[in-house]
Amino acid sequence: MTTVKDVAKLAGVSTATVSRVVNNSGLVNKETQSKVKSAMQQLNYRPNTVARALASKKCTTLGLVVPDVSDPFFGQLASSVEQITRLTNMQLLLSIGGQDERSEQQAIESLIAQNCDTMVVHSKKMSDETLSSYLNELPGLVLINRFIAEFQSRCIWLNNEYGGRLAAEYLIHKGHKQIAIVNSCLEIDDPLLRKKGFENALPSKNFYFEATPTFDGGEEAANKLIEHLDKVTAVFAYNDAMAVGVISKLSEKGIRVPEDISIIGFDDALFARVCQPKLTTLKYPIDQMAKHAALLSLSISGSNTEFSNLPSEYCYQPYLIERNSVSLNE
């Protein structure tokens, strides 16, 4: 491993000078500069980012915590954040938050130990209290998909309630009145808010089922749904995975979508375009949100000043993507 010292020696200058040309911190004579540069090339010198961060007390890593990268939703989120880190010459530290509060905390702690002062975290298990204490401790921490009122300038979140309303309005517009909600059973706000938004727009008695927000959960819910099929013309699923699970189980039983029953999903995940029929769904603009969160964190923590013109709206609105899983109900 070649260091500044080696370069300095070969170029016949001090390490400070080498540092100056590496950092482009002006004020270096053209000639010395080229001497140093050629020495760097000869030795195949690569600055040690770790040492640099330590000495300058500036951090070149951005930490991301998500519950699970194997879930395509978070894969998408991670990918978007990575695009920002690449643009800003930062490195991405990935920490997995997992299923419980403790491992979410550990994920953050390990980022702190790495001296990481800019981070975006997706946490659903940690309480507002512990999360708030981290927010206080780490000025560069930005929350995604979560809203804590005292820190709203550091939260990027989705208007879930509005999403629920959009779904209801669309189904009503299509002539549906008897609807089943297939919701997530996880104890987080999102399903409750979507339900609330939906029911505000369609207060008549709807059927309601809960399961895990996965394909299997969707199948499970469909099994219960089947008993009420005569009273239901459409279903609003918590997410596309569940929607696809419902479709799959239904079609196994010979019930066709959208001919026999309509269905609307949420997320616009990979699934949505790939399934049969293609899914009408509510777009969750996670790409934009993730980029916004990363940029926000970078700008708050002072790691980057170039991108100062960030969106002023921190609350994102889902919007309808019409495909063909919903039919007109006369």
Partner DNA sequence: GTGAAAGCGCTAACAG
Partner DNA sequence: CTGTTAGCGCTTTCAC
Footprint on this chain of DNA (rule: CB under 7 A): 1, 3-5, 12-20, 22-23, 25, 27-29, 31-33, 46-48, 51-52, 54-58
Q: Choose among a second copy, DNA, none what residue 3 binds, the Cβ cut-off being 5 to 8 Å by kind.
A: DNA
Residue 22, amino acid: V
Question: What amino acid is encoded at 131 in this protein?
Answer: L
Of 210 and 219, which CB lies nearer to a second copy in the complex structure? Answer: 219
Binding mask 235-274 for a second copy (x = CB under 8 A): ------x--xx-xx--x------------------xx-xx
d(CA 90, CA 171): 45
What DSSP string runs through 60-93? -EEEEEES-TTSHHHHHHHHHHHHHHHHTT-EEE
Q: Strands, E, within the chain: which ranges?
A: 61-66, 91-96, 118-121, 141-144, 155-158, 179-184, 207-211, 234-237, 262-264, 281-283, 315-316, 319-321
Q: How far apart are the first and last CA of the chain?
A: 74
Assess 302 for contact with a second copy (CB under 8 A): no
Q: Rounded to the nearest whole angstrom, what is the least distance from the CB of residue 294 to a second copy in the complex?
A: 13
Which CB, 54 or 315, lies closer to DNA?
54
Residue count at the site for a second copy (CB under 8 A)? Answer: 48
Note the Cα 241 to chain centre separation in Å.
17
Cα 266 to Cα 47, 84, 304, distances in angstroms: 46, 26, 34
Binding at 247: pick from DNA, a second copy, none (beta carbon under 5-8 Å per type): a second copy
Among 5, 46, 173, 205, binds a second copy (CB under 8 A): 46
Q: How far apart are CA 126 and CA 33, in angstroms?
A: 51
**Taking CB within 5 to 8 Å according to partner kind, which of DNA, a second copy, none is near residue 25?**
DNA
Residue closer to DNA, measured from CB, 21 or 295: 21
- Pairing mode, strands 141-144 and 91-96: unpaired
d(CA 43, CA 95): 35
- Based on the shown chain and the rule CB under 8 A, indicate whether residue 135 belongs to the binding site for a second copy: no
Among 96, 226, 229, 255, binds a second copy (CB under 8 A): 96
Please report, for the chain, how many H helices and E strands are present, in that order: 13, 12
- Nearby residues of 273 by Cβ (< 8 Å), 6 or more positions away: 279, 323
Between residues 179 and 279, which has the closer beta carbon with respect to a second copy? 279
In this complex, which beta carbon is closest to DNA, that of residue 112 or of residue 320?
112
Q: Kindly state whether residue 82 participates in binding a second copy, applying the rule CB under 8 A.
A: yes
CB 248, CB 316: distance < 8 Å: no
Pick one of 8, 36, 65, 78: the residue that binds a second copy (CB under 8 A).
78
Q: Is 76 in the site for a second copy (CB under 8 A)?
A: yes
41 near a second copy, rule: CB under 8 A: no
Phi, psi at residue 213, to the nearest 5°?
A: -80, 60
| Site for a second copy contains 71 (CB under 8 A) | yes
Task: Please identify which residue in 72, 132, 151, 226 interacts with a second copy, judged by CB under 8 A.
Answer: 72
Residues that bind a second copy (CB under 8 A): 46-51, 53-54, 61, 68-72, 74-76, 78-80, 82, 86, 91-96, 109-115, 215, 241, 244-245, 247-248, 251, 270-271, 273-276
